[in-house]
């Protein structure tokens, strides 16, 4: 094969391009996923707005609808706040959990809670 034939053969070949890389944007949850993630927290805040919170001994508690387990309100909410504090730091979000912590501490101490406190949280 001479030079002209090689050139012609090279031009006749289809170009083999590397496979395209798939690019993905940030993963965004669906509305249903968000609703189900926050359903229990929303339920607890709904109970607080209605003025109904369960007590186990002297400590406020709530029941998980799916399993029927009871959780101490203050421990669960402090854990929820710790999670959001870590997420806010990691993702540089401007989220404050101070109103939720204040509400939890008021309930744990047996103090009166206002609707304004609940709405702020």
pLDDT at residue 112 tops 90:
no
Per the CB < 8 A criterion, the answer to whether 118 and 48 are in contact is: yes
Q: Tell me how far apart the alpha carbons of residues 104 and 121 are, in angstroms, rounded to a whole number.
A: 9
pLDDT confidence of residue 15? 62
**What pLDDT, in 10s, does the model give residues 35-56?**
988 888 888 888 888 888 788 7
pLDDT at residue 86 tops 90:
yes
Q: Tell me how far apart the alpha carbons of residues 98 and 120 are, in angstroms, rounded to a whole number.
A: 9
pLDDT at residue 111 tops 80:
yes
Element (H, E) at 3: helix 3-12
The more confidently predicted of residues 1 and 70 is 70
Backbone angles phi, psi at 88, to 5 degrees: -65, -40
pLDDT at residue 13 tops 70:
no
pLDDT confidence of residue 16? 67
């Amino acid at each position: 094969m001479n030079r002209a034939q090689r050139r012609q053969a090279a031009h006749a070949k289809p170009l083999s391009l590397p496979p395209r890389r798939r690019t993905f944007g940030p993963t965004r949850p669906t509305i249903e996923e968000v609703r189900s993630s926050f359903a229990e927290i929303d339920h607890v805040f709904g109970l607080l707005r209605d003025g109904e919170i369960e007590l186990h001994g002297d400590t406020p508690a709530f029941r998980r609808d799916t399993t029927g387990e009871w959780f101490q309100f203050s421990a669960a909410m402090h854990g929820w706040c710790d999670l959001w504090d870590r997420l806010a730091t990691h993702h540089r979000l401007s989220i404050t959990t101070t109103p939720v912590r204040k509400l939890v501490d008021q309930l744990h101490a047996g103090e009166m809670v206002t609707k304004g406190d609940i709405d702020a949280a």
